[in-house]
Amino acid sequence: MYQSFEVTARPEQGPPRLKALRAELAAQGLDGFLVPRADVHQGEYVSPRDERLVWLTGFTGSAGFCAVLHDVAGVFIDGRYRTQIKTQVADVYTPVPWPETGLADWLIEQMPAGGVIGFDPWLHTAGQIEQLTEALTGTGITLKPTDNMVDAIWDDQPAPAMAPAKVHPLEFAGESHEAKRARLGTELSRAGQTAAIITLPDSLCWLLNIRGADIHCNPVAQGLAILHADARVDLFMADAKLNEVRDHLGPDVTARDPDTFLNYLSGLTGPVRMEKTSVPAIVADTVGSNGTWGDDPCALPKACKNTAEIEGSASAHLRDGAAVVELLAWLDAQAPGTVTETQVVTKLEACRRSDNALQDISFDTISGTGPNGAINHYHVNEATDLTLKEGHLLVLDSGGQYLDGTTDITRTIPIGKPGADECAAFTRVLMGMIAVSRLRWPAGLAGRDIEAIGRAPLWYAHQDFDHGLGHGVGAYLSVHEGPQRLSRASHVPLKPGMILSNEPGYYREGAFGIRLENLLVVEPATAPEGGDAHRAMLSWRTLTFVPIDRRLILPEQMDTPSRDWLNAYHAEVLDKIGPRVSADTLEWLKNATASI
């Protein structure tokens, strides 16, 4: 099981910890130190041992970093966390809007006379350091790799994650790890490369058909790997994790001590593929001239799910949908003012755990009512827990991890009678979600090419939201999976088998939040009857089946195709989920899915 230790920091702990870090800076003769939210593996999620940014600053967001100088400490946060950070960090830290303000520009402004900035070369990718070094050229500011200074002052730092790795059954993986290794090894050979370095935990686990519990809500085992062109793998993972998977891995996967990783790299002959955006800087420096840049060889094959993974995910969503529907029916029976955000979280998890197939939740449930709903990635705790009151909206974003799939769903629920502004904004968000769900598009387009469709109804009202429209989702792996995204920054063409979220929203700070989210899988589109199949097109198949709250919808604001889509969706929800819920919940569901 995942270790339950959680790193937290109260705002009053920030000043003494910052003071201690600055003393360490002075002792090392440095002018600054960079503290990212990252670990050796460069995935999105980190174990308690690597929660250095939280421990130092108190900021708990899933992206961001801190640049500590002797007279200022900037915490760089994107639009999702502008509200959240105000309550989490002490005033000794300065929030910096990022990426609007780049780290290099900020350092140049703060250090006009130059200086030396330390960084842990395991915690920054080769691409990040290359980009920052280029941006600082000629400024008098230089970067210096160092031991980690936060580790030097963190006396009770948790131990490294050591959960045992487990075999992921072939019936759910859909392809043996021998076949995966052979397929990707052939790709390396064709590219003239001898090997590829893999640092991302979900890539490693997908390749070897193993899972673990080293990261909260993510069924991954942390390790490093080298995939050779002849399909062999050198696996650098703590020996204590491997007891249950040795026979499964077989003779062509060699387990090695993680402490020998750099020495082993230095002995490789190239070209060795490395992904600039995920390989730690120290790894690239060690490989040196034997390295060549390229994509993580697992990323795209992992994203394009096979039939077993797609159908497994579809099955997981039906079980998960039934649990969410049970929660919604229960919540609707509670009077306003009688339930808190944490009680909703507890009840929803109990509904999910009534199905023995649940392995874990897929992320900490977001349950935000009233002003808390306006915080994109709100994390409820004792200090912030609000009661669901008359007129509030509740943003409920949650998911489950099942052996056959990973789920992620958001619904917005009115508590009592909703206001006119809330209903108007909700209907716009719904229109954006439906527009994306109904979409057909030419093969070859990327997320950046179609994500505006989900925002357009909000744009007409001069409204928008500060997160991406959608992210990739794994198959009993990370709930956030690359390289596919519905984002302005995504250049990766969408391909059949990719699973993505579709989650437009709207957030009014201090008042309310709205978000709707379904998961979709990319499929080849069938030409309409009698239509001209002019070119290859793609479309979506919806995986999530949970009603969308009709009390927040203004039907007159919707066009006929959108109303038809919603009514057909609700009919399918009733058909698929109705047989899976209790008798009382079924009666609630019939009403919740009635036509508009």
Give the chain's end-to-end CA distance (angstroms, integer).
45
- What pLDDT is attached to residue 412? 98
Tens of pLDDT, residue by residue over 468-502, are 999 999 999 999 999 999 999 999 999 999 999 99
For the domain 304-589, what is the CATH code? 3.90.230.10
Tens of pLDDT, residue by residue over 264-285, are 999 999 899 999 999 999 999 9
- State the fold for domain 11-153: Creatine Amidinohydrolase; Chain A, domain 1 (3.40.350)
Residue type, 73: A
435-470 burial, b at 16+ Cβ within 10 Å, e below that, comes to: bbbebebeeeebbebbbebbbebbeeeebebebbbb
* Among the listed residues 372, 363, 468, the one whose alpha carbon sits nearest the alpha carbon of residue 86: 372
**Cβ distance 387 to 337 under 8 Å?**
yes
Name the maximum alpha-carbon separation found in the chain: 76
Tokens 């793998």 identify what position? 233
**How do strand 253-256 and strand 233-236 relate by DSSP bridges?**
parallel
Q: Which residues contact 365 (CB under 8 A, 6 or more apart)?
A: 345, 348, 349, 396, 397, 398
* Among the listed residues 74, 71, 72, 32, the one whose alpha carbon sits nearest the alpha carbon of residue 53: 74
- Other Cβ atoms within 10 Å of 138 Cβ, number: 6
Low-confidence ranges of the chain (pLDDT < 50): 1-4
**Cβ distance 375 to 83 under 8 Å?**
yes
| β-strand partners of 119 | 145
Rounded alpha-carbon distances, angstroms, from residue 550 to 348, 556, 563: 21, 13, 11
Per domain, the residue ranges of the chain are 11-153, 166-302, 304-589
- What pLDDT is attached to residue 530? 64
Q: Which residues contact 433 (CB under 8 A, 6 or more apart)?
A: 454, 502, 503, 504, 516, 517, 518
- What pLDDT is attached to residue 92? 82
Per the confidence metrics, is the pTM higher than 0.85? yes
Full DSSP string of 344-372: HHHHHHHHHHTSTTEEEESS--EEEEGGG
Please identify, in words, the CATH class of the domain defined by 166-302: alpha beta
Q: Is 355 exposed, middle or buried (0-12, 13-18, 19+ CB in 10 A)?
A: middle
Question: How far apart (Å, rounded) are the C-alpha atoms in residues 277 and 495?
Answer: 22
- What pLDDT is attached to residue 503? 98
- What pLDDT is attached to residue 93? 84
Cis before 201 (ω within 30):
no
Rounded alpha-carbon distances, angstroms, from residue 252 to 208, 210, 231: 11, 15, 8
- What pLDDT is attached to residue 228? 98
Fold match flag (11-153 vs 166-302): yes
- What pLDDT is attached to residue 6? 64
